[in-house]
Amino acid sequence: MPAQPVPDPHPPSIAPLELERMRGAVRASLFAKPAELPRLGRYTLLRCIGHGGMGIVYAARDEELDREVAIKLLRAELARSDDRRLATEARALARLAHPNVVCVFDVGMHEGQRFIAMDYVVGEDLRRWLAAPRRLRDVLRVFAGAGRGLHAAHVVGLVHRDFKPDNVLVGDDGRPRVLDFGLARPPEPGGDPTNLEISLIESPAF
């Protein structure tokens, strides 16, 4: 008899807001009523558009300014250990105002979970963008734009520390934008900002 898989004793939990959104969708399907979308302060969560080890990203509507935004919400099971990392990302992005860096304009807490509100960019990450046939001049233009975004971060004393194709969004307008500064840190006083220790959470290949 083949060995049975051992269940994970610590399965990842679903963020409360995501669970609320899923329940609303089920109720809407069962009772043919519009889904009641969860709220996070002034933001209404519309749909999940991405997720990673640290958090879930939603497309949302800013009800006060009537615009679509992206909300990054720290995963419930990581809220205590990684809250400071997400706050670091918010502070790092808030210090930058550059066309090649995703703009962050709000950070807060919701029922003990940290969130960041940032520009909603319609497009795809650089890895997927490069999977399609591209003209050399377009590739060079996008790479140069991403480099300008990184340079802008370095000018204000920040090093990304996890720069890779997944952390660059290429918008439908063709403009690249660097994001996910959750590992950013100021260089050590008097130190070389490019001479960084590699940790397991980073991507040394890039």
pLDDT digits (tens, 9 = 90+) for 74-101: 776 665 656 776 677 677 777 788 999 9
Which has more pLDDT, 20 or 64?
A: 64
Cα 182 from Cα 140, distance rounded (Å): 26
Q: What is the pLDDT of residue 74?
A: 78
String of b and e for 48-87 (b: at least 16 CB within 10 Å)? beeeeebbbbbbbbbeeeeeebbbbbbbbebbeebeebbb
Stretch among 44-48, 141-145, 151-155 having the lowest mean pLDDT: 151-155
Is 162 annotated in the active site?
yes
Cα 71 from Cα 43, distance rounded (Å): 8
- Residue 200: φ, ψ to 5°: -65, -20
pLDDT band at residue 19 under the 50/70/90 scheme: low
User: How far, in Å, are 162, 164, 194 from residue 141 at the CA level?
Assistant: 21, 17, 23
Three-class DSSP category at 132: coil
Give the residue-averaged pLDDT of 49-71: 89
Could you give the domains of the chain? 16-119 (3.30.200.20)
Of 162, 166, 172, 173, catalytic:
162
Q: From 53, 30, 40, 20, select the one nearest 108 (Cα to Cα).
A: 40
DSSP 101: B
pLDDT band at residue 136 under the 50/70/90 scheme: very high
DSSP 174: S
**Strands lying side by side in the sheet with 168-171:** 123-125, 168-171, 176-178
Give the residue-averaged pLDDT of 102-118: 86
Cα 183 from Cα 50, distance rounded (Å): 18
With 0-12 / 13-18 / 19 or more C-beta atoms within 10 angstroms meaning exposed / middle / buried, residue 42 is middle
Q: What is the pLDDT of residue 99?
A: 95
